[in-house]
Structure 1
Amino acid sequence: MPVTQAASKPSQPASTIASTTDVPDKAATRRPRLRPLMALWPHLLRYRGRALAALAALLVAAIATLVVPIAVRRMIDFGFDESHAGFIDRYFAVMICVVAVLSMASAARYYLVMTLGERIVADLRTQLFSHVLTLDGAFYDGAKSGELISRLTADTTQIKSAVGASASIALRNIVLFFGATVMMVITSPWLAATLLIAIPVIVAALLLAGRGVRKRSRGAQDTLAEASAYAAEAIGSVRSLQANTAEGAASRLFAGEVEHAFEAARSAVQARSWLTGVGIFLVFASVVGILWAGANAVLAGSMTAGTLGQFVLYAVLAASGLGQLGEVWGEISQAAGATERIAELLHEKPKVVVSSRPVPLPVPARGAIAFRDVAFAYPARPDVPALAGVTFSVTPGERIAVVGPSGAGKSTLFQLLLRFYDPIAGQILVDGVDLAEADPQAVRARIALVPQDVAIFATSIRENIRLGRPDASDAEVEEAGRLARADEFVGRLPEGWETPVGERGVTLSGGQRQRLAIARAILRQAPILLLDEATSALDAESETLVQQALDLSMQGRTTLVIAHRLATVLSADRILVMERGRIVEEGTHASLVGRGGLYARLAALQFGEANAGK
């Protein structure tokens, strides 16, 4: 494959997660509006006992509610007759009992449903976070952390509201609607038949309006995610913004994103408002019409006042149930949009395919590495080769340096070795096993990485080092820190190893963060050590101390070192020189300088012509 341009790391495309799923979203708009919520069904089944208890409480509360109109009819028809002395007292006593049952059942329903919603969303967040951590480099080349956080927080909160309050209200009103409808038919079939004619019109209007709510809610959630993504990026780079006096520009950009999100949200609220208003008008207009017809029947003597009162109460229950159902339908439609976004993320599959029966790596580990005619291009730039025809082998315990100009493909070697990506051609072997046939977790367990851009978490120094081996004891963590010379600055901190370092290690210097990364690698005790400019952020004194620690940690390990500063690779067993995705030279420092090629030119630039060969 011809190499036309160097490419060691992918650019960040402007497309977002949402934009990569446009086609599925269009298909989704043609499906029933609540189908995305079926993705929550497995979570609901896991807690079916709690769900059934909530349903039982709901039914008890609904039955208690439906008893009230019967009592009202009997009081109207018989309670004011002097021949039925004590009737009112007994009925009011019974009504107090009914109300007590209703209140207790309603409280139980609310508690069970709300805790069920909280539990399901907690599980969903855990599942989503765990899944995101399994996705490979190709996914993260086009993803934005702010959007992912929005799905973990804002979208799951929408679902919590739907599974909890909205679903509870919807089920309650569905039960009340059908229960009240049945009782209306029993109370007065001809009035019920008249009212039921209007129900299909009302339901059709609610369904039609609900479709627009879901589509607009999905758009509102997408724009909110875009605003969150920009905010996360800006806050993470706040010092660069301040250093360049770009706070005003960043604020204006974020204000524009927020305004866009507001307009999308306003559109969704407008759709919900229409849904609520239309539903309430249609429902209660039907009730008014029935009340008019029933009043005429009472005047004509074909119906008692108590029967009309009972029927009207059932009609109000049915109408309010249908009206509130229309209101919560909008919230459930919003949750369907949020569930759809989460389902899209959960359906993302890593491009790095793990075999169902991976080949086990040999034990004990040796640390042998081999690249065989490897070619690769980043998914974000498939037409720009990053590696072409790369072939080399590393024997166990050998120390190899990889040098070359920026964009030559050096870091790509590490990313393929860690199996963040798979090559498009060729093979990569660790201890004789093709990485394409091995479990990525097993491969990475044999590798320790010290990157140039160190990831530091907002926890203690001890826990940041322990990331290298989570089961390590405190003594092992501190020993790794001492070998990396981290104890020299840790000892000056008020809380020592327990000192919190702030988000991204903001309270530490670049050199201190680098030493924590080296301590992680030492603690990991892996047979293969990858150093990507591991001492680039250190001052001269710290570099000398850390280099001694690295020399000690490299003993008995296979080591690959990426370096731009050639002084750090002079003691390597071999040096690989890369240019435009290919290995163009290989040898020791002295032999490469003698050839007068690319390495010799780089050495002359860094050491000077007179000292290049020394």
Structure 2
Amino acid sequence: MDASNPGEAPETDETLPPDDPVVAPKARSIRPLVMIWRQALKYPAQVALALVALSITAAATLAIPAYFKVLIDRGFSRGGDIEGINHAVELLFGVVVVLGIGTALRFYFVSWLGERVVADIREKVQENLLRLAPGFYEENSPKEISSRMTSDTTLIEQVVGTTVSVALRNTLMAIGGTAYLFYLVPQLTMWMVLVIPAVVIPITVFGRRLRNVSRTSQDRVADIGAMVTEVLGAMKIVQAFNQESRERARFNAAVEDSFNTARRRIMIRAAMTALVIMVVFGAIVLLLWRGAVGVASGEISGGTIAAVVLTAGLVAGSFGALTEVYGDLLRGAGAASRLAELLHEEPAIAPPARPEALPVPPRGSLSFRNVSFRYPTRLESPALRDFTLEVQPGETVAIVGPSGAGKSTIFQLVERFYDPQAGTIRLDGVPLTSADPAEIRKRIAFVPQEGVLFSANARDNLRYGNWEATDDEIWEAARAANAERFLSELPDGLDTFLGENGTQLSGGQRQRVAIARALLRKAPILLLDEATSALDAESERLVQDALERLMADRTTLVIAHRLATVRAADRIVVMDEGRIVEQGSHGVLASAGGLYARLAELQFGATEAA
């Protein structure tokens, strides 16, 4: 799958075996809907009740022409059969009641199935998305994936809750109506049946093109959703740089592109519908003509021709509805195939079949030996080259260097978001590739450069690092991160909703919440990506003091852009172009005249750096 360019609908899915019924190598059929059918079959009782209700409503609808035939034949016959008319009317009322109750039951069970199937698919897709390594979301747009989870699942809900019901009901009515017509006027009906191939052939031909266009149409809608999310999330930047007109033009272009694709889809459906209706209704007109001639010659009764007219109308309407719902089914198949890609995507980082257990109690040692790594999206540019580093338990190692030197890559590899192409990384002597990634991450607490918070209250954001933490432990971590004061001043304390990504807090406050969250983790290894960069001078001093006390019992890796924060580190590792170029204390490196000395001089001036 490659959603980085959602404008191109992939024709194959290399993540699935070619014989999987969910996969459609080319957009030609409704086969991807098999995934939905399998999901629905997990609720056999509801499926059975829905099918029974469908059959009852179809049969009741077809019974109406039969009773009309009785009414007309007995009502217009000489003398009139009043008792027979009354009996027929009573039965007709009974059919109407059955039709009403059956329709209500059909609507309930079919709608229930639609909602349940969509909920299950969303849960399964989300479960699989949470298994995928972060690298997947660098190659595939999260905004486009989010659009699939909303617009595509809405389409599937429509397919299960409405389209399939309409298709089955009209199929039953078309078959049952045709059988009844054979019973009434077999010779005339035979002529009508001969035109069925003329209906099936255009549906097949147009259907292939329609599904291709339907899939592309869904991609265009996903583009719009992704663009809206991106622009609204960065509205301050858009307005700060006066780019409103450009974003408006870009959005309008995407909308017009979506409209043009939808127009092609509509034109194909319109042509298919017109052709089928002309063929079907043309056959019915001929049928009625022959029926009228039969009535005039006395071969058939007036009630029979009335029943033929009503039944033929139902059959024609059923065929016409089937041509329209087939287009909807194809759109649903396109949505199902897009979700199937996400559902069957395999994680690039997965636990081995027999993961090696990490030692207990944890020591907190890290070892990099001849590690080389290139990001999958940037294979031409190595991020780490023959990188070797031994970090002892309890040691604090600061990693410095210019932008692009590979500092953040070290953290990504330690968390096993990626595996190196060469070399080994060990945690407490166990190769990361031999251990369960979840167990590795349980031993690591991470504070990113910018505090990432969730749309939740303060308590849930804080205990994200340790969901079992008590309020006392939360407040203790908040005090250590210098967050206690502003958290206690929130309107509802820890129950205060912080807004999307913590928008109700300042940047420094968000960072302190992120630090407290990492402290609650109580992990033996601490990863700090310039964790104090967003704090003011006073808060930075207080948090730095707290971190220094807490780092005494932890192995700590610190990425530092401001060298003032790493002077007290046990060791400073200087990186450039993916390699270690210097190691040592601040004093030794500052006087060595190398890269670190130049960086220190730029930040502090020559005298203070020395």
TM-score, normalized by length of structure 2? 0.95
Helix, strand or coil at the partner of 1:65: helix
Match of 2:486 in 1: 489
Q: How does 1:118-157 map to 2 (within 5 A)?
A: 118-157=115-154
Q: Cα–Cα, structure 1 residues 395 and 197, in superposed 2: closer, same or farther, change >3 Å?
A: same
Displacement of 1:547: 0.6
Matching residue's letter, 1:76: I
Q: Does 1:74 align with 2:70?
A: yes
Displacement of 1:451: 0.4
Match of 1:269 in 2: 266
Displacement of 1:311: 2.7
Displacement of 1:572: 0.9
Helix, strand or coil at the partner of 1:351: coil
On the 8 A contact 2:590/2:597 being kept in 1, the answer is yes
Match of 2:169 in 1: 172
On the 8 A contact 1:151/1:342 being kept in 2, the answer is yes
Distance 2:356 2:172 in 1: 56
On the 8 A contact 1:462/1:478 being kept in 2, the answer is no
Q: Cα–Cα, structure 1 residues 279 and 29, in superposed 2: closer, same or farther, change >3 Å?
A: farther
Q: Cα–Cα, structure 1 residues 268 and 478, in superposed 2: closer, same or farther, change >3 Å?
A: farther
Displacement of 1:317: 1.9
Q: Does 1:347 align with 2:344?
A: yes
After superposition, the C-alpha distances for 1:177-200 in whole angstroms (9 at most, x for unaligned) are 111122222222211211100111
Helix, strand or coil at the partner of 2:36: helix
Match of 1:451 in 2: 448
Matching residue's letter, 2:10: T
On the 8 A contact 1:577/1:585 being kept in 2, the answer is yes
Match of 2:200 in 1: 203
Q: Cα–Cα, structure 1 residues 564 and 233, in superposed 2: closer, same or farther, change >3 Å?
A: same
User: Which residue of 32, 39, 57 maps to 1:43?
Assistant: 39
On the 8 A contact 1:355/1:437 being kept in 2, the answer is yes
Helix, strand or coil at the partner of 1:455: coil
Q: Does 1:85 align with 2:82?
A: yes
After superposition, the C-alpha distances for 1:209-232 in whole angstroms (9 at most, x for unaligned) are 222222111111111111222221
On the 8 A contact 2:9/2:219 being kept in 1, the answer is no
Q: Cα–Cα, structure 1 residues 210 and 248, in superposed 2: closer, same or farther, change >3 Å?
A: same
After superposition, the C-alpha distances for 1:394-425 in whole angstroms (9 at most, x for unaligned) are 11111111111111000000001111111001
User: Which residue of 303, 306, 316 maps to 2:303?
Assistant: 306
After superposition, the C-alpha distances for 1:467-492 in whole angstroms (9 at most, x for unaligned) are 11222223322222122111122233
Match of 1:603 in 2: 600
User: Which residue of 561, 569, 572 maps to 1:575?
Assistant: 572
Q: Does 1:392 align with 2:389?
A: yes
**How many pairs align?**
601
On the 8 A contact 1:17/1:142 being kept in 2, the answer is no
Displacement of 1:149: 1.4
Helix, strand or coil at the partner of 1:46: coil
Q: Does 1:16 align with 2:13?
A: no
Distance 2:201 2:227 in 1: 40
User: Which residue of 365, 374, 386 maps to 1:368?
Assistant: 365
On the 8 A contact 2:27/2:211 being kept in 1, the answer is no
Q: Does 1:64 align with 2:60?
A: yes
Matching residue's letter, 2:100: S
On the 8 A contact 1:585/1:592 being kept in 2, the answer is yes
Distance 1:73 1:22 in 2: 53
Q: Report the more deviating stretch, 236-245 or 306-315.
A: 306-315
On the 8 A contact 2:155/2:331 being kept in 1, the answer is yes
Q: Does 1:435 align with 2:445?
A: no
Distance 1:205 1:177 in 2: 18
Match of 1:3 in 2: none
On the 8 A contact 2:292/2:305 being kept in 1, the answer is yes
Helix, strand or coil at the partner of 1:408: coil
Q: Cα–Cα, structure 1 residues 545 and 120, in superposed 2: closer, same or farther, change >3 Å?
A: same
Distance 1:542 1:183 in 2: 85
Structure 1, unpaired ranges of 5+: 1-12
Q: Report the more deviating stretch, 232-241 or 14-23.
A: 14-23
Distance 1:218 1:446 in 2: 44
Q: Report the more deviating stretch, 51-60 or 496-505.
A: 496-505
Distance 2:86 2:80 in 1: 14
On the 8 A contact 2:224/2:255 being kept in 1, the answer is yes
Displacement of 1:29: 6.5
After superposition, the C-alpha distances for 1:435-474 in whole angstroms (9 at most, x for unaligned) are 1111111111111100002211222222211211222223
Displacement of 1:598: 1.4
Q: How does 1:537-552 map to 2 (within 5 A)?
A: 537-552=534-549
Matching residue's letter, 1:549: A
Helix, strand or coil at the partner of 2:556: strand
Q: Report the more deviating stretch, 463-472 or 434-443.
A: 463-472
Distance 2:257 2:466 in 1: 45
After superposition, the C-alpha distances for 1:235-257 in whole angstroms (9 at most, x for unaligned) are 11111112212222222211221
After superposition, the C-alpha distances for 1:231-289 in whole angstroms (9 at most, x for unaligned) are 21111111111221222222221122122112222222222222333332222121111
Q: How does 1:275-294 map to 2 (within 5 A)?
A: 275-294=272-291
Identity between Structure 1 and Structure 2 (%): 46
Structure with larger RCO (C-alpha < 8 A, sep 6+):
1
Helix, strand or coil at the partner of 2:348: coil
Displacement of 1:570: 1.1
On the 8 A contact 1:162/1:335 being kept in 2, the answer is yes
Matching residue's letter, 2:495: E
Distance 2:446 2:80 in 1: 94
User: Which residue of 442, 454, 465 maps to 1:468?
Assistant: 465
Helix, strand or coil at the partner of 1:335: helix
Distance 2:152 2:71 in 1: 50
Q: Cα–Cα, structure 1 residues 20 and 64, in superposed 2: closer, same or farther, change >3 Å?
A: closer
Q: How does 1:110-125 map to 2 (within 5 A)?
A: 110-125=107-122
Distance 2:95 2:184 in 1: 21
Q: Report the more deviating stretch, 561-570 or 73-82.
A: 73-82
On the 8 A contact 1:145/1:232 being kept in 2, the answer is no
RMSD: 1.9
Match of 1:5 in 2: none
After superposition, the C-alpha distances for 1:468-523 in whole angstroms (9 at most, x for unaligned) are 12222233222221221111222333222222222122222111111011011001
Matching residue's letter, 1:596: G
On the 8 A contact 1:166/1:331 being kept in 2, the answer is yes
TM-score, normalized by length of structure 1? 0.94
User: Which residue of 415, 419, 422 maps to 1:422?
Assistant: 419
Match of 2:92 in 1: 95
Matching residue's letter, 1:44: A
Displacement of 1:18: 5.7
After superposition, the C-alpha distances for 1:296-329 in whole angstroms (9 at most, x for unaligned) are 1222232222222223332222211111111111
Distance 2:556 2:469 in 1: 23
Query: Which ranges of 4 or more aligned residues in structure 1 deviate by more than 6 Å?
Result: none
Distance 1:304 1:80 in 2: 10
Matching residue's letter, 1:417: V
Distance 2:318 2:452 in 1: 54
Distance 1:160 1:42 in 2: 15
Distance 2:375 2:183 in 1: 70
Helix, strand or coil at the partner of 1:407: coil
Displacement of 1:14: 9.6
Q: Report the more deviating stretch, 333-342 or 274-283.
A: 274-283
Match of 2:522 in 1: 525
Matching residue's letter, 2:480: L
Q: Cα–Cα, structure 1 residues 17 and 480, in superposed 2: closer, same or farther, change >3 Å?
A: farther
Distance 2:202 2:407 in 1: 62
Distance 1:426 1:20 in 2: 37
